[in-house]
Amino acid sequence: MPTHAPAAESVSASQPRVSRYAPVAGQLTLGAVTEIVPPALIDEVIARCGRRERRIRMLPARVTLYLVLGLWLYPGVGYREVLRMLFEQLRHCSGGRRLRVPSASAAVQARRRLGREPLKCLFLLLRGAHCGPEDPGATAFGHDLALLTTAVDGTTLDVPDTMSNRAAFGPAPGRSSKDPGRCPQIRVLTLIACGTRAILDAAWGGRSTSEGALLRKLVHGGCLRAGMLVMADRYFSGSAHVAAVRATGADLIIRAIANRRLPVLRRLPDGSYLSHLPAANQMTLDLIARARAKGVRPQRCGVRARQDAGMPIRVIQADITVVPEYGESRSESYLLITTLFDHVTAPALQIVKLYAERWEAETGYADLKIHLSGMRNVLRSTEPDGVAQELYALLIVYQIVQIIRARAARENPDAAPVDPDRISFTITLRALVRSVGRGTPPALLEVFHEIWSSPRLERRGRTKTRERKGTLAYARAISRTPLSRAEYKITIQAPQTTGP
């Protein structure tokens, strides 16, 4: 007959079995990152997501999560090298004895055990503007409105070309069936705070998922609220997108197609005018269906019917002339629609100037895809769950850098708070990476001192071609207008017509 183990040696199923490596592995840190996301927060997230392990090895859940974040601090190297840099700091904890570094396959298995949920939960805890209404560059229109300026925009990221990724995200995009693309892609849409470039929320899906569908995810996520000013490009100028954002209470400034016809209902002294944004066709069809259900003769599905079913907006027409230091000048017409109706507190000229802040979203994607990702243009993970985990880790590391930038701009003891735009992303990132090997409590303070001792950036008006680098079109554009400083002249155009 089998004998039962003594009660003193029995192990409760709710308590993990601790290995002899646990005391050492528990002291592993990620430099200044650990001070932004401390071990207690990591353990809380892991427990909340039900990923607490039953046996603590050299790569427990907490260490694995730090490893996933560390992979984006060292994007150009493999698992083994990142593990070696992390475990090197533990030599003094083990009496100078060199510890066995886990293998790459062990890291992959640990990532699978961890899953995506803890990374997603941690991102949800870190998201936000991380600035106050009194911080420089955070809000617009002074104390009268003090709207938090935000921008929404999308981008794509390449994932490894595997069968599981193709099934989850679609095939690699290409020009034709005979010219397939290199890698499948995912589409990411973020809402950022223009003052700090921190992410307020993000939504993503396969490349076939439209930015409009991702915008609806953001709206349903509750990140938009009253007191925000959302800026977006022409893709979001449709009435369905505008209505979705406006229903949250947030105000907006969106660029529309320059030749779009909008009725002039009332002219304002600053050159702008009040109008109606026509309802979408589907919205009009819904109104027709309701009318028929009530036995009323439905309206015609034309421009005037859509105008009547539309929403009130304010329209600003402006010509922006770029005068470069060298090369040719050029002009471009802008048609902006907004829900800021008071021309006294929000003049037309100020709205046009403010719209340039939308490019902070483009700058944020440059930080994320160029400076942070480095030469790794394709994610590592060959499975959809790993892709999600890796994407959330990328957003978390990006957010941590922006949090440090915002705090450095606000907490400099030798100067008044400055606009975070003057704090370099790359200097902050490099100082953060160097802090990983230190593993000491004042690592974040050393990062701050390195930032404060570096020259502050100065934003200058400049012109840059939108052509892709390395192409013939880019070479021709550079020959016409070399990269140089530029001045911008804004001219508000008065409306010419009064009807739809």
pLDDT tens per residue across span 115-131: 999 999 999 999 999 99
Tokens matching residue 48: 């909340």
- Secondary structure string (H, E, C) spanning the chain: CCCCCCHHHCCCCCCCEECCCHHHHCCCCCCCHHHHCCHHHHHHHHHHCCCCCCEECCCCHHHHHHHHHHHHHCCCCCHHHHHHHHHHHHCHHHCCCCCCCCCHHHHHHHHHHHCCHHHHHHHHHHCCCCCCCCCCCCEECHHHHCEEEEEEEEEEEECCCCHHHHHHHCCCCCCECCECCCCCEEEEEEEEECCCCCEEEEEEEECCCCHHHHHHHHHHHCCCCCCEEEEECHHHCCHHHHHHHHCCCCEEEEEECCCCCCCCCEECCCCCEEEEECCCHHHHHHHHHHHHHCCCCCCCCCHHHHHHCCEEEEEEEEEEEEEECCCCCEEEEEEEEECCCCCCCCCHHHHHHHHHHHHHHHHHHHHHHHHHCCCCCECCCCCHHHHHHHHHHHHHHHHHHHHHHHHHHHHCCCCCCCCHHHCCHHHHHHHHHHCCCCCCCCHHHHHHHHHHCCCCCCCCCEECCCCCCCCHHHHHHHHHCCCEEEEEEEEEECCCCCCC
Residue 105: the pLDDT is 92
Weakest mean pLDDT among 59-63, 121-125, 386-390 = 59-63
What mean pLDDT comes out for the span 369-394? Answer: 89
| pLDDT, mean of residues 436-458 | 82
Higher pLDDT, 276 or 10: 276
Token digits of residue 27: 């002291």
In this model, does residue 292 exceed pLDDT 60?
A: yes
294 pLDDT more than 70: yes
- Lowest mean pLDDT across 230-234, 397-401, 414-418: 414-418
Range with the poorest average pLDDT among 55-69, 99-113, 358-372, 442-456:
55-69
Going by pLDDT thresholds of 50, 70 and 90, the confidence category of residue 308 is low
The listed CATH number (3.90.350, 3.30.160, 2.60.40, 3.20.20) that belongs to domain 127-371: 3.90.350
Predicted confidence (pLDDT) at residue 25 exceeds the cutoff of 70: no
Average pLDDT in the 258-286 region? 82
> Residue 94: pLDDT above 70?
no
> pLDDT tens across 330-357, in order?
888 999 999 999 999 999 999 999 999 9
Q: What percent of the chain has pLDDT over 70?
A: 82
Mean pLDDT of the chain: 84
What is the per-residue pLDDT for 386?
94
Domain boundaries in the chain?
11-124, 127-371
| Highest averaged pLDDT of the listed ranges 200-209, 286-295, 315-324, 450-459 | 200-209
Weakest mean pLDDT among 44-58, 157-171, 242-256, 456-470: 456-470
Confidence of residue 174 (pLDDT cuts 50, 70, 90): confident
pLDDT of 354: 93
Asked if residue 3 has pLDDT above 60, the reply is no
Residue 363 or 374, more confident? 363
Instruction: Give yes or no for residue 496 having a pLDDT over 90.
Output: no
The model's pTM: 0.87
Q: Does pLDDT of 377 surpass 90?
A: no
Confidence of residue 92 (pLDDT cuts 50, 70, 90): low
Q: Tell me how long the chain is.
A: 500
Least-confidence region, from 73-87, 127-141, 167-181, 434-448: 167-181
Task: Please state the rounded mean pLDDT for residues 178-195.
Answer: 86
11 vs 115, which has greater pLDDT? 115
Q: How far apart are CA 189 and CA 198, in angstroms?
A: 13
Q: How far apart are CA 103 and CA 89, in angstroms?
A: 17
Give the per-residue pLDDT at 115.
Answer: 93
What pLDDT band is residue 9 in, cutting at 50, 70 and 90? very low
